[in-house]
Structure 1
């Protein structure tokens, strides 16, 4: 999977400040896009990383080691381009299930897109070992992981981050002249459409720019 060095999570937006020594934020305004859930659709599925791990350490979306921690808890996936969307798909939630292998449970599990799979087919999930094994019947996770490429079913679902609607933090790469913030959790039915920044003592909102991949 594609590496990414910055310690961030889902989407990153940046704004260049060349007129001040520091940024005293007052507020962030986050807009979301509405979407409607689809019926179950077919996709391919594989897994990567340790058998009971979280895939890569963060991957192309820049999650870092957060992928193995709550609320993600290793239930993550790299996506083919249909899901990754050049970084815009980072943080989207899907239910996946398998029924065509005798080791499948047939029960859906929820995963979050946290990485890109550039070598995969477009409609493909490259799941963490943990997420892939979660589709198995009790005691058959290893058997399922040995099955190779699976044909699965998927559907888009709302993200549920333990009561958090939208959370963000300032990226560690920010400095006197460059400000970047990361929207960590975007729960519910929305994709991020825009983020605006308001400086302390000012009334106007400044549109921020998206950096691809995170």
Structure 2
């Protein structure tokens, strides 16, 4: 079952940088630096109007804490991962910091994270936000945390740039500390699974998609190792650009 998504937020990773995979623990913080990127709506980059998300509550969470980041990109695999950030200047910084979602690749002044203005503001204690902004770049510590999307399974959205003989999908709601490392479709005439290409970030594409419904499966790397999950819901033959489909796969 598909539905048109409403309420927009940027979830694409748009550049590819080959970097070594790092290991993270929810109990261990890593020291780094962060800055911010301004935009008219304070949600992040001007590209934030290009993708949509299904639920108002989730949209607010992601839009307020969206980031562009550098080191954690991992050739696009890190797109969609969640992190806790807190700055380390006691007189200005809130104890809990801010929870963010990796959305893009960018470069700052020796920084690992470039935050939206809203996310950067949430690093600060009440009433000293302007003082923190005057720093421009702040020392931080960060750790990876589990993404939580209450009531949502892993979903795949048909990208708006699709045309009849080309298919691209965007993966949404990758919960827990999981990364999607491969996507395959079922080639009915060959009776075998065939790989889709990671176009960039969370976008996977396929030239000359097969006719009829398209079965998909996803390779998930997480704390329980590497596993394959087959979607219980095929992409219908009448798929529409901009529509999203529930895989009925629950990642935790």
Q: Does 1:131 align with 2:119?
A: yes
Using the size of structure 1 for normalisation, the TM-score is 0.72
- Native 8 Å contact 2:94 2:124 kept in 1: yes
Alpha-carbon contact 2:35-2:108 (below 8 Å) kept: no
Are residues 65 and 169 of structure 1, via their aligned partners in 2, closer, same or farther at CA, if it must alter by over 3 Å? Answer: closer
Q: Deviations over 1:108-162 (max 9, x none)?
A: 32101112223443x5111111001101111222221112211011001111122
Contact 1:48 1:126 in 2 (8 A): yes
1:211 lines up with 2:213 in the alignment: no
User: What TM-score does the superposition give when structure 2 sets the normalisation length?
Assistant: 0.62
The answer as to 2:67 corresponding to 1:77 is yes
138, 158, 171: which one aligns with 2:146 = 158
Match of 1:149 in 2: 137
Structure 2, unaligned runs of 5 or more: 1-8, 15-22, 203-252
Q: Is the 8 A contact 2:12 2:104 kept in 1?
A: no
CA-atom RMSD, angstroms? Answer: 3.1
Q: Which has the higher contact order (CA 8 A, sep 6+)?
A: 1
Q: Mind listing any 5+ residue stretches in structure 1 that lack a counterpart?
A: 1-6, 13-34
- 1:112 is aligned, of 101, 122, 135, to 101
Counterparts of 1:39-78 in structure 2, within 5 Å, are 39-50=28-39, 53-58=42-47, 64=50, 66=52, 69-78=59-68
For structure 1, which segment, 146-155 or 164-173, has the greater mean C-alpha deviation from structure 2 after superposition? 164-173
Q: Give the distance between the partners of 1:188 and 1:57, measured in 2 at CA.
A: 28
Secondary structure of the residue aligned to 1:142 is: helix
Instruction: State which of 9, 12, 33 in structure 1 corresponds to 2:11.
Output: 9
The CA distance in 2 between the partners of 1:139 and 1:200, in whole Å, is 61
SS of residue matched to 2:142: strand
Q: Is the 8 A contact 1:95 1:157 kept in 2?
A: yes
Aligned residues: 182
Aligned counterparts of 1:140 and 1:52: Cα–Cα separation in 2: 21
